[in-house]
Amino acid sequence: MSELVRFGISLDENLLKDFDALITDKQYSNRSEAIRDLIRNSLVEDEWKKGKEVAGAISLVYDHHKRELMDLIVAIQHEYQDMIVASQHAHLDHHNCLEVIIVKGRSEKIKRLSDKLRAVKGVKHGSLTLTTLGKEL
């Protein structure tokens, strides 16, 4: 880890009051920790925008009784197998399944895979959570 550097920030009083309330709400132990998190979030979002290699999780909820849905979801995953690190399937009830697919690759390619899976007929809900490989933070 690199050396810690201290620096001052000038801020409008009301803005600081609101920020302190947010810090309490989000359970940060101090302002420095909260500001560090904000900076890291911005850097990670920048990685996504610049199409760098990132990590992510695609979650899908679907009814496995729907015809051809399972075949299609598996076929798409094979098509993108170079990016898929792991996947976990959970049976939520008699009809519904939750599948979480962990991915690693260029952000735009991950988004394309996520869009493709979410567009499969019978997928009730899909979400993509992007994060970072953590190398540059």
> Which DSSP state fits 30?
S
Which residue number, 64 or 106, has a Cβ lying nearer to Ni ion?
64
Q: What type of residue is 62? A: Y
Which residue number, 44 or 117, has a Cβ lying nearer to Ni ion?
117
For every residue of 61-74, DSSP letters joined together read: EEETTSTTHHHHHH
The residue to which tokens 């009830």 are assigned: 93
- Closest residue to Ni ion, based on beta-carbon distance: 97
* Burial class of residue 87 (count of CB atoms within 10 Å of its CB; 0-12, 13-18, 19+): middle
* CA dist., res. 46 & res. 18, Å (int): 25
We find the least distance from the C-beta atom of residue 49 to Ni ion, in angstroms, to be: 35
* Site residues for Ni ion per CB under 5 A: 64, 91, 97
We find the least distance from the C-beta atom of residue 132 to Ni ion, in angstroms, to be: 30
Which residue number, 23 or 102, has a Cβ lying nearer to Ni ion?
102
* CA dist., res. 18 & res. 33, Å (int): 16
Which residue number, 17 or 91, has a Cβ lying nearer to Ni ion?
91
We find the least distance from the C-beta atom of residue 99 to Ni ion, in angstroms, to be: 8
Instruction: Using alpha carbons, list the distances in angstroms from residue 80 to 49, 71, 74, 76, 98.
Output: 21, 14, 10, 6, 19
We find the least distance from the C-beta atom of residue 60 to Ni ion, in angstroms, to be: 11
We find the least distance from the C-beta atom of residue 64 to Ni ion, in angstroms, to be: 5
Which residue number, 50 or 91, has a Cβ lying nearer to Ni ion?
91
